[in-house]
Chain A
Amino acid sequence: MKRILAPALLACVLLFSPAGAQAQKFIFTPQWTAQAQFAGYYVAQEKGFYKEAGLDVEIVHPSASQPAMNRISRNESHATTLMLPQAMEIIDNGIPLVNILQTSMNSGLVIVSRRNESPLKQRGMRLGTWSVGFDQLVIAMSLKENLDYQWVRFASGINLLLSGAIDATVAMSYNEYYQLMQAGLELTDTNVYRFCDHGYNVQEDGVYVTRAYFKKHKDEALRFAQASRRGWEWAAEHPDETLEIVMQYVRDGRVETNRILQKLMLDEILRLQVDRESGEREFRLRPDMVAQMNQLMVENQMLLNPVPYENIIAQ
Chain B
Amino acid sequence: MKRILRYLRQSLSARLSLWVVFFATLVFLATLGVMFVQSRRAVRQEAMSRADQILDNTVQRVQTLLNRVEMAANNTAWLVSRHLDTPDSMFVYSRNILLNNPELNGCSIAFEPYHYPEWGRYFSAFSYNDNGTVLTTQEGNPHYEYFTYDWYQLAKLLDRPCWTEPFFDYNPEDIYSKDMIASFCQPIRDKEQRYIGTLSVDISLSWLSETISAVKPYPHSYSIMTGLGGTFFVHPDSTKLFYQTIFTETLETPDPDRTDLGHAMQRGEEGRRQLRLDGKDCYVFYKPLGDTGWSVAIVCPESDIFDGLNRMQRSITLIFILGLLLMLYVCSQIVSRELKPLSQLTRQIETISSGQLDQELPDNGRTDELGRLYKSFTDMQHSLVSYIDKMKQTTAAKAAIENELKVASDIQMSMVPRIFPAFPSRDDIDLYASMTPAKEVGGDLYDFFVQDETMYFCVGDVSGKGVPASLFMAVTRNLFRIFAQQGHNPESIATAINQFLSQDNNQNMFVTMFIGQIDLNTERMDFCNCGHNPPVLVVPGQPAQFLPIQYTNQPLGIMDGIPFRGESLADMRDKLLLIYTDGLNEAENPRHEQYGDDAVLEMLTQLGSLSAEEVISRLKESVEKHRAGAAPNDDLTLLCFRLK
Contact = CB atoms under 8 A, between A and B. Distances in A.
A261 B244 CA distance: 9
Interface in A92-131: 126, 131
Which residue among B149, B150, B240, B252 has the maximum number of chain A CB atoms within 10 Å of its CB?
A: B150
A155 B174 CA distance: 14
B229 A184 contact: yes
Interface stretch (B58-66, B157-165, B443-451, B527-535): B157-165
Contacts of B583: none
B299 to A, nearest CB: 18
A156 to B, nearest CB: 8
Nearest to B166: A159
Contacts of B172: 63-65
A181 interface: yes
B26 interface: no
B7 interface: no
Interface stretch (B130-138, B140-148, B459-467, B512-520): B140-148
Interface string A130-164: 01000000000000000000001111011110111
Contacts of A164: 158
Interface stretch (B29-37, B259-267, B312-320, B626-634): B259-267
Given A182-B245, A183-B229, A256-B176, A160 B154 contact: yes
A131 B143 CA distance: 11
B62 to A, nearest CB: 20
B175 A64 contact: yes
B248 A258 contact: yes
A181 B263 CA distance: 12
Which residue among A160, A164, A256 has the maximum number of chain B CB atoms within 10 Å of its CB?
A: A256
B174 A182 contact: no
A272 interface: no
A159 to B, nearest CB: 5
A60 interface: no
B230 A183 contact: yes
B247 A183 contact: yes
Contact of A126 (B157, B162, B231): B157
A264 B251 contact: yes
Contact of A157 (B150, B240, B259): B150
A239 B246 CA distance: 26
A184 B230 contact: yes
A128 B518 CA distance: 158
B150 A159 contact: yes
A154 B230 CA distance: 20
B611 interface: no
A157 B168 CA distance: 12
B149 A154 contact: yes
Contacts, number: 105
A304 interface: no
B351 to A, nearest CB: 87
A69 interface: no
A53 to B, nearest CB: 30
Contact of B229 (A33, A152, A153, A159): A159
B246 A184 contact: yes
A163 B162 contact: yes
Interface residues of B, number: 43
A182 B228 contact: no
Nearest to A254: B176
A184 B249 CA distance: 11
B164 A182 contact: no
Contacts of A9: 142
Contacts of A181: 247, 251
A196 interface: no
A257 B243 contact: yes
Contacts of B143: 64-65
Contacts of B148: 131, 153-155
A4 interface: no
B242 interface: yes
Nearest to A154: B148
Contacts of B247: 181-184
Contact of A258 (B149, B228, B243): B243
A299 B246 CA distance: 45
Interface residues of A, number: 35
B157 A165 contact: yes
B192 interface: no
Given A64-B170, A65-B143, A160 B246 contact: no
A163 B153 CA distance: 11
Contact of B175 (A63, A153, A260): A63
A243 interface: no
Contacts of A155: 145, 148-150
A176 to B, nearest CB: 11
Nearest to A181: B251
Contact of A162 (B162, B228, B251): B228
Given A63-B174, A165-B158, A257-B243, A160 B248 contact: no
A152 B248 contact: no
A64 B139 CA distance: 14
Contact of B154 (A165, A184, A254): A165
A33 to B, nearest CB: 6
Contacts of A165: 153-154, 157-158
A50 interface: no
Contact of A163 (B158, B175, B230): B158
A255 B174 CA distance: 11
Contacts of B162: 163
A183 B154 contact: no
B4 to A, nearest CB: 58
B608 interface: no
Contact of B259 (A33, A163, A184): A184
Contacts of B251: 178, 181-182, 260-261, 264
A160 B152 CA distance: 11
B268 interface: no
B130 to A, nearest CB: 19
A42 B252 CA distance: 24
B150 A160 contact: yes
Contacts of A183: 228-231, 245, 247
A290 interface: no
Given A131-B145, A164-B158, A260-B251, 10 more contacts: A9-B142, A152-B157, A160-B150, A183-B228, A183-B229, A184-B229, A184-B262, A256-B168, A260-B248, A264-B251
Interface of A: 9, 33, 63-65, 126, 131, 152-155, 157-160, 162-166, 178-179, 181-184, 254-258, 260-261, 263-264
Interface of B: 142-145, 148-150, 153-154, 157-158, 162, 164-165, 168, 170-176, 228-231, 239-240, 242-249, 251-252, 259, 262-263, 266, 293
9 contacts: A155-B149, A158-B229, A162-B165, A184-B230, A256-B176, A258-B239, A260-B248, A260-B249, A263-B252
